[in-house]
Chains A and B, each alone.
Chain A
Amino acid sequence: MNAVEVSGLRKSYGKIQALQGVDLRVPAGAIYGLVGPNGAGKTTLIKALVGALRPDAGEVRVLGLDPLKEKWALRRQIGYMPQSYALYEDLSARDHLTFYGQGQNVADLPRKVGEILAFTELSERADDPVRTFSGGMKKRVSLACALIHDPRILFLDEPTAAVDPHLRRRSWQLFRTLAGRGITLLISTHLMEEALLCDQVTIMRQGQIVAMDTPERLMERGRSQLWVHQNGAAQQQVIPSTPAALATALHAYGLAAGIDAVHVRAESLEEIVLGIIQEQEAQS
């Protein structure tokens, strides 16, 4: 079953076409990455999915519901973490969770607040005003607000932007834990390396989808450069970026004793995506 189904979605801001006919299917229970540079249309797409903007054309279904026409039924089932912190600087993390929890009629709220504070590792500073928090802590408060009502699907807009590598890793561990509980996560990021942490990825550019696949299959669309240093001379060849292609290429050498070194440099996801974009531009 798909948690999100989008077809022919268009949205313009004046002359700027933020979304140019986007089609998307997000399977339930997956971590789905929406990857692309700033201005690719990721935030506009997420806003359309949560019902925060009215698209010019196209159809959107989230958990089978229209985000605008059936917004009250949908909003009980979705969690949304915007790109900005979207927090009240003078309130504490506990105040925030209590506010949003009351708004969503969460049962046994004090216990639930404590549970979410512990999950997001905010318990120790739960009653301090958010203005005293670091950027990473504010991101966690923002995530906690999106989780308080046990949503079935989470929309996280650049949740790890401007976050240090340690906290980024910790955030992805939290996302994986949430996915393990059956929650669908749609996460936007401009960091290509984060795409590799998702179950499925859509690459966006200028309001259009450039590629859509699992990270593994996307990586297989790349090329690798192989250098084999044999008897003092280096031989270079370009092979597909698959384990099988590497094995086949090395068979020719039989890993003889004379082989001094083997060096492989695979294309990064960024290079692969750039290659796909160039191919598409050449075709059009």
Chain B
Amino acid sequence: MRHVFIVGKRVITQLRHDKRLLAISLVGPLLIMYFLKIFLDGLNVAALTARYVIPFTAFIVHFLAFLLCAIVLVQERTGGTMERMFIAGFRRSEVIGGYIVGYFGLATLQAAVVLTETLWLFQLDYEAATLFNLFLVFWILAVVSVLLGIFISTFARREAHIFPFIPLVILPEMFLSGMLVDGDKLPVWGQWLGRLSPLHYANNAVQELIKGGVGLETIGRDLVILAAYAVVLLLVASRTLAEA
């Protein structure tokens, strides 16, 4: 466990020193939410604002955590630092755990900043308990996203190989998770594919929470599935992260 925090601390130190990456990671989502505001204002669907913007915030956290983690891990492999870590005595599970710790921090910061902007920009108001539960969903989704990034990175030999996974994995999630269109309006095959996506369960939980007056007992099933998703990805990534 000690090694997990050593790797995590190193990842956080790197992120802290990479001011450009930090700025892009935080300013980018803020701009996207502003563009979404302009788009929704144009559509004049004020009543449906929360239904779209809160899940979209979750999507941004999911997408960026996945993308950044996948790319940085591929860089670790191509640059030789991954191999060096293993030879220096770090285990695969410790490297993965360290990345979760490091990127979890960034994802939390992103979620906090983007959610705050979203609430202010769209003039949304929730009880403290709902906000806490929303954060909980975002956090678990961030962990799943980091693990998905680690898993996908094992299929890439260089950074450019990550990008085909965006249309292959991330964009279908956006359309089939129920985030844009309610799940029951999708064709049956689409509903089944959507259920394979972690975003589906995050979206379910978020849609329940923004109705108001809903607690953990209502979203518990979705959170458990998300956590199970994380455990499965952790096990698979621990096997696929090449060491020798």
Nearest residue, chain B, Cβ from A80: B87
Stretch of A88-96, A118-126, A162-170, A252-260 with 4 or more beta carbons under 8 angstroms from chain B: A88-96
CB–CB A91/B10 < 8 A:
yes
Among A70-78, A180-188, A261-269, the stretch in contact with B: A70-78
Which of A51-59, A231-239, A241-249 makes up part of the contact surface?
Answer: A51-59
Q: Tell me the minimal C-beta distance from B87 to chain A in angstroms.
A: 5
Task: Tell me whether A27 is interfacial, beta carbon within 8 Å.
Answer: no
A136 at the binding interface (Cβ < 8 Å): no
Q: Is B79 an interface residue (CB 8 A)?
A: yes
A75 touches B89 (CB 8 A): yes
A78-90 interface mask toward B, CB cutoff 8 Å, 1 = contact, 0 = none? Answer: 1010111111101
- Check B185 for interface membership: any CB of A closer than 8 A: no
For A82, give its contact among B3, B13, B83, B244 (CB under 8 Å): B83
Whether B6 sits at the interface, judged by CB under 8 Å, is yes
Report B1-37 CB contacts with A as 1/0, cut-off 8 Å. Answer: 0010010001001100110000000000000000000
CB within 8 A of A91: which of B17, B79, B80, B89? Answer: B17
The chain B residue sitting closest to A102, CB to CB, is B6
Residues of A with C-beta under 8 A to B83 = 52, 82, 86
Chain B residues contacting A85 (CB-CB under 8 Å) are 79-80
Q: Which of B13, B17, B80, B90 contacts A86 (CB 8 A)?
A: B80
How many residues on the B side are at the interface (Cβ–Cβ under 8 A)? 20
Mask of B122-165 contacts with A, CB within 8 angstroms, 1/0: 00000000000000000000000000000000000000000000
Interface centre among A51, A102, A129 (most CB of B within 10 A): A102
- Nearest residue (CB) in B for A88 is B14
Contacts of A53 in B (CB 8 A): 244
**A99 surroundings in chain B (CB, below 8 A):** 6, 10
Given A82-B80, A102-B6, A103-B6, verify A50-B14 contact (CB < 8 Å).
no
B95 CB to closest chain A CB, in angstroms? 11
Residues from chain B with Cβ under 8 Å of A76 in the complex: 89
Residue of B nearest to A155 (CB): B87
Chain A residues near B87: list those with CB within 8 A: 50-52, 75, 78, 80
- Cβ-defined contact, A86 with B10, below 8 A: no
Contact A100 B88, beta carbon cutoff 8 Å? yes
The answer to whether A145 has its CB under 8 Å from any CB of chain B is yes
A86–B79 touching, CB < 8 Å: yes
B52: A residues at CB distance < 8 A? none
B81 within 8 A of A: yes
The reply on A278 being an interface residue by CB < 8 A is no
Judged by a CB distance under 8 angstroms, whether B221 is at the interface is no
> Which residues of A (40-67) have their CB < 8 Å from a CB of B?
50-54
Q: Contacts A50-B87, A51-B244 hold; do A86 and B81 have CB atoms under 8 A apart?
A: yes
The residues of A that contact B84 with a CB separation of less than 8 Å are 80, 82, 86, 145
Chain A: minimal CB distance from B232 (Å): 26
Chain A residues near B85 (CB, 8 Å)?
Answer: 103
Known: A51-B244, A84-B79, A99-B10. 6 other contacts (CB 8 A): A72-B89, A75-B87, A76-B89, A80-B88, A91-B10, A104-B89
A residues bordering B, Cβ < 8 Å? 50-54, 68, 72, 75-76, 78, 80, 82-88, 90-91, 95, 99-100, 102-104, 129, 145
Some 27 contacts from A to B, beta carbons below 8 A apart, are A51-B244, A52-B83, A52-B87, A52-B243, A52-B244, A78-B87, A80-B87, A80-B88, A82-B80, A82-B84, A85-B80, A86-B81, A86-B83, A86-B84, A87-B79, A88-B10, A88-B81, A90-B14, A91-B14, A91-B17, A95-B10, A95-B13, A99-B6, A99-B10, A102-B6, A103-B6, A103-B90
Which B positions have Cβ atoms within 8 angstroms of A? 3, 6, 10, 13-14, 17-18, 79-81, 83-90, 243-244
